[in-house]
Structure 1
Amino acid sequence: MTASNAPLGAVSRLLDAVCWICTLLTGTFMVTLIAIFGWLVWGRYVMNDTPTWVEQVALMLVVWITFLGAALGVRRSHHLSVDFLREAFPRPLRLLCTALALLAMIFFGAIMAWQGAALTAANMDRAVPMLGIAEGWRAMPVSISGALIALFSVEHLAALLAGRDKEL
């Protein structure tokens, strides 16, 4: 690693840790989601007593899994993209298209983070039915995901500008 890439490497390692935490959270939430649906089926069909809280917890978990998973997709470059047109361009134009797409992702992530934070703050006074926790917890992943999407896209852009576009 060259001296000019050292700070980028340290930031990448930090973002790897953030990515690992998000992966751990989404995996834990997925296992929890499966377990509570098992509890729902058991309660409804075996015990004849449907647990009413399962739907609200499931909705909350699905939102967290979806938004954290979207941020992970951006970090790992596993998100949906249509790149056949871009790949047909010569290398300089291809790099420009990639940079413009990353700038758009940074902008989109920043708007998500800003508006998600506003939505979270606006809903902290309302309670989720049957759970008694703030509705803002259901909106919080929008803000977190937006911030992570912007951050991960900045890292990809920095790698592109440093000439490490093969990693994208």
Structure 2
Amino acid sequence: MQGTMRDIARITGTMGRIALWLSGTGLVLMTAFISVQVFYRYVLNDSQSWTEPASVMLMGWFIFLGAAVGIREGYHLSFDVLLYVLPLKVKLVLHSISDAVVIAFGGGMVWFGAELAEKTAGNKLPSLGISGAFDFLPLVGGGILIVLFSLERLARRAAGLPTARFGETELED
């Protein structure tokens, strides 16, 4: 089982790196779009209508992709003061419960994000000329990655492999 989990970890690691690169590219593009808007508005006295909605859409992508990678790498927000004094088996149970809750949250993101995208698919974003569903696709994409990465964390823990970055593991005390 550990060999299979290592193969899965390589695949999800590649997915995480791609998501992180896309997230970083989105951040750079958003910054460029806002710079264009500022230049056009204050230097040329002519606003561009597409920069703000495009920037907000990009922001959705880099936030949700980055959050999914943070979950995979163990950098998501947590309150773990109590974990320092608990026995190892209790820590493992609490980490697993936490991952299960994150899976449920990611599933909700996918489900409700898809519903929102479906309901707005007929609307057209006037400044971009694309479907309103594109506003909610980051929610769906990020949710899918959150579910996959959290499932991986649960499976790696069950196989006795490290779940966090740099070889850290709950199995070591």
Query: For this structure pair, what is the TM-score category when the shorter chain's length is used for normalisation?
Result: over 0.9
Q: How much does 1:84 deviate?
A: 0.6
The residue type equivalent to 2:45 in the other structure is N
Using the alignment, how far apart are the partners of 2:146 and 2:31 within structure 1? 27
Alignment partners' CA distance in 1, 2:53 and 2:146: 26
Structure 1 Cα separation of the partners of residues 15 and 169 of structure 2: 18
Provide the rounded CA distance (Å) in 2 between the counterparts of 1:47 and 1:65. Answer: 30
Deviation at 1:76, TM superposition (A): 1.0
Cα drift, residue 109 of structure 1:
1.2
- Partner amino acid for 1:152? F
1:117 aligns with 2:106: no
Cα RMSD for the two superposed structures: 1.3
Aligned with residue 55 of structure 2, among 58, 63, 74: 58
Indicate the residue corresponding to 2:130 in structure 1. Answer: 133
Amino acid corresponding to residue 29 of structure 2 in structure 1:
T
Equivalent residues of 1:56, 1:129 under 8 A apart: no
TM-score by length of 1: 0.92
CA separation in 2, counterparts of 1:140 and 1:147?
A: 11
**Which digits, 9 at most, give the CA deviation of each residue in 1:58-91, with x for residues without a partner?**
1111111111111111011111111011222111
Q: Deviations over 1:91-147 (max 9, x none)?
A: 111111111111111121112112212211221111113111111111011111111
Q: Percent identity?
A: 34
Q: Which runs of 5+ in 1 are unaligned?
A: none
Whichever residue aligns with residue 112 of structure 1, its letter is M
Aligned pairs, how many?
A: 165
Q: Whole-Å Cα distance in 1 between the matches of residues 48 and 112 of structure 2?
A: 34
- 2:80 is matched with which residue? 83
Equivalences for residues 139-158 of structure 1 within 5 A: 139-158=136-155
Among 142, 159, 172, the alignment partner of 1:162 is: 159
- Report the Cα distance in structure 2 between the residues aligned to 1:138 and 1:77, rounded to whole angstroms: 27
- Give every structure 1 segment of 4 or more consecutive aligned residues whose post-TM-superposition deviation is greater than 6 Å: none
TM-score, normalising length from structure 2?
A: 0.90
Q: Kindly indicate whether the alpha-carbon contact (under 8 Å) linking 2:33 and 2:51 is maintained by their aligned counterparts in 1.
A: yes
Which range is displaced more, 156-165 or 69-78?
A: 156-165
Instruction: Tell whether 2:43 aligns with 1:46.
Output: yes
Whether contact under 8 Å (1:30, 1:61) holds in the other structure is yes
